[in-house]
Amino acid sequence: ASLTCFENIQIALLKKHKKVYDFVPKRADYLKDEVMQVLDIVGMQHNAYETAALLSYGDQRRLEIAITLAMEPKLLMLDEPTAGVARAEGYEIMKMIRKLAQERHITVVFIEHDMEIVFNYSDRISVLDHGTLIATDTPENIRAVVRRAADAGASWIYAGTQ
């Protein structure tokens, strides 16, 4: 059977506290306050006892972030955090990530193919071409370089504009 949101966070907290989860918890409420606090941070306290596998894809992404937050990371690396979710939900996820990064002083590195997300939620952007770093700068400066290159006739550049 699939684990609930609560159990997923509980396992992460047990790992953080260097405890072992034996899949037959003697106290189902162990670390309850801490678990609920983490779920609240990502707006999922009301989903605590829902089976994780049955959540919407957007809520599954939130749960994944909550599991990571339970470990109190200094660096959060995300691969396409908005993939598979509706645009509006993607923006909400990115707003949440930005807020958490600022409040908890977490460095966030994310890979994203949605250029609107990249330009709206990045402080710095690194552009790769077949694994080679070709630029790192602010979103404004990257967009300016892309415009100049496009104006000069470059057809290989894609930065979210037609």
CA distance 118 to 57: 20
Q: Is the dihedral of CA 122, 128, 133, 135 positive or negative?
A: negative
Of the listed 50, 80, 92, 116, which one is catalytic? 80
Burial grade of 35 (CB within 10 A; 0-12, 13-18, 19 or more)? buried
Backbone conformation region of residue 72, classed left if phi is above 0, alpha if psi is from -120 to 50, else beta: left
80 catalytic, yes or no?
Answer: yes
Which residues are part of the catalytic machinery?
80
